[in-house]
A = this chain, B = another copy of it.
């Protein structure tokens, strides 16, 4: 069971989490719980660091931030023991979560779960601090964005758990962002691959890293509400479906930017130079379009996360002389709308239906990319929400679906 920061933001919520954990334990399960820092504590700690320096040492930042989860595990364990159920808290290092040397964004290298297993054998509920591990220097390190989910899924894999339950403030994964389309429906089951595409395309429920680990070790992930008993969304390897349900959801990424290099010399190595330079600086490029060459010149357009646009432009400016590009143009008024679904490739009508529905609504498509289970369209920012709604409706996602099992 993994609970996020809003689930442990105050004493009443901590007690509520304790109640759910105890119920799970009393139902006969061996339970390991992962928690994040309470409410806004991580933000508060960051603000404290900013008070003393504008460029904090990353090792010390991890030393600071790791206290947030340590507070949560202690409070939750107290609340569980208060109800007469045996529990014990473990920091990431104590739980045997080993990570690499990259402070503030470490990757888990391995898990030595003997400490947790010992405590489970003693009949205790084990409460583990999310987001943190021990690096080869014996220093505390943090796992970066989505780190607590990652801790939970990786622990579930190391412990060979039956399921990893991610408790959150939403009811599960939706067919699209409910803030954009109020008719969005909760999805009962979805495959790892579909979820990866949805997450990568801007669905904020879970970070791709955790889903990748779930897929790799085949750990079912159940995303569900901290506040109700209702079933949420099960992310799993394979989902039995009715044949007509091909599209699982519509992903919406409202923060994209398109960068165009005009009149490049059409010679070998140019694309390699561009995308190599961006990759070196950790900038992910999404869609790429290259125009047909005309008198030895062509254009290349590609998209990046809007937050990376400035940095990307600077990098291209630095190498523009060697590229012999005449112009670098940035368009930060674009958004991405994608449909995601396993088996899409074998239903040729799917992409056509997508393009037709957008055309009927007068939405112009700027760029297109496809994968085995996804078709993504770049459109104007002003058309974005409307595009999501027409596509969502075109694929019947606004209708409650029958249970698929």
Which stretch in A64-72, A234-242, A368-376 binds the other chain? A64-72
- For residue A52, CB closer than 8 A to chain B, the reply is yes
A52 touching B82 by the CB < 8 A rule?
yes
Tell me whether B77 and A89 are in contact (CB under 8 A). no
A183 contacts the other chain (CB 8 A): no
Q: Report A60-105 residues with CB < 8 Å from chain B CB.
A: 60-61, 63-64, 66-67, 70-71, 73-75, 77-79, 81-82, 88-89, 91, 94
Specify which chain B residues have a CB less than 8 angstroms from the CB of A75 in the assembled complex: 48-49, 51-52, 60, 64
Chain A, residues 29-55, CB within 8 Å of chain B (1/0): the string is: 000000000000000010011011101
Q: How far is the CA of A88 from the CA of B140 in the complex (A)?
A: 13
Which residues A1-56 have CB closer than 8 A to chain B? 10-11, 14-15, 18, 45, 48-49, 51-53, 55-56
CA distance A249 to B43 in the complex (A): 48
On whether the beta carbons of A81 and B60 are closer than 8 Å, the reply is yes
Q: Is the CB of A59 within 8 A of B88?
A: yes
Question: What residue in chain B is nearest A14 (Cβ atoms)?
Answer: B52
B94 touching A78 by the CB < 8 A rule?
A: no
A109 within 8 A of B: no
With A15-B52, A55-B82, A79-B53 known as contacts, the answer to whether A63 contacts B67 (CB < 8 A) is no
Cβ of A138 within 8 Å of any chain B Cβ, yes or no, is yes
The answer, among B49, B73, B78, for a CB contact under 8 Å with A78, is: B49
- Across the interface, do A77 and B48 meet the contact criterion of CB distance under 8 Å? no
CB distance from A382 to the nearest CB of B (A): 43
Interface membership of A333, Cβ < 8 A: no
Provided the pairs A45-B71, A48-B11 are in contact, do residues A81 and B57 lie with their beta carbons within 8 angstroms?
Answer: yes
Asked whether A71 lies within 8 Å of B77 as measured between CB atoms, the reply is no
Question: When the two chains form their complex, are residues A78 and B66 in contact, meaning their CB atoms are under 8 A apart?
Answer: no
Residue of B nearest to A70 (CB): B67
Residue of A14, A51, A52 with most chain B CB atoms under a 10 A cut-off:
A52
Q: Per a CB cutoff under 8 Å, which of B53, B67, B91 touches A71?
A: B67
**Is the CB–CB distance between B64 and A71 below 8 Å?**
yes
A-B contact pairs, 10 of them (CB 8 A): A18-B52, A48-B75, A49-B78, A55-B82, A59-B88, A63-B74, A63-B91, A64-B74, A67-B67, A94-B138
Report yes or no: B78 in contact with A60, Cβ–Cβ below 8 A. yes
A101 CB to nearest B CB, Å: 15
Chain A residues proximal to chain B, CB less than 8 Å: 10-11, 14-15, 18, 45, 48-49, 51-53, 55-57, 59-61, 63-64, 66-67, 70-71, 73-75, 77-79, 81-82, 88-89, 91, 94, 138
Knowing A53-B81, A79-B53 are in contact, say whether A48-B61 is a contact too (CB < 8 A).
no
Tell me how far the C-beta of A342 lies from the nearest C-beta in chain B, rounded to whole angstroms.
44
* Min CB–CB distance A79 → chain B (angstroms): 4
Q: Are A51 and B81 in contact (CB under 8 A)?
A: no
A51 touches B10 (CB 8 A): yes
By a CB distance below 8 angstroms, the chain B residues around A59 are 88-89
Chain B residues lying within 8 Å of A52, measured Cβ to Cβ, are 11, 14-15, 18, 75, 78-79, 82
Give the CA-CA distance A73 to B62 in the complex, in Å. Answer: 12
Q: How far is the CA of A51 from the CA of B71 in the complex (A)?
A: 13
CA distance A66 to B73 in the complex (A): 13
In contact, B51 and A63 (Cβ under 8 angstroms)? no
CA distance A81 to B63 in the complex (A): 14
* Listed residue (A11, A75, A79, A81) with the most chain B CB atoms within 10 angstroms of its CB: A75
Complex CA gap A52/B79 in Å reads: 5
Knowing A88-B59, A89-B60, A89-B63, say if A82 contacts B53 (CB, 8 Å). Answer: yes
B-side contacts of A45, CB under 8 Å: 71
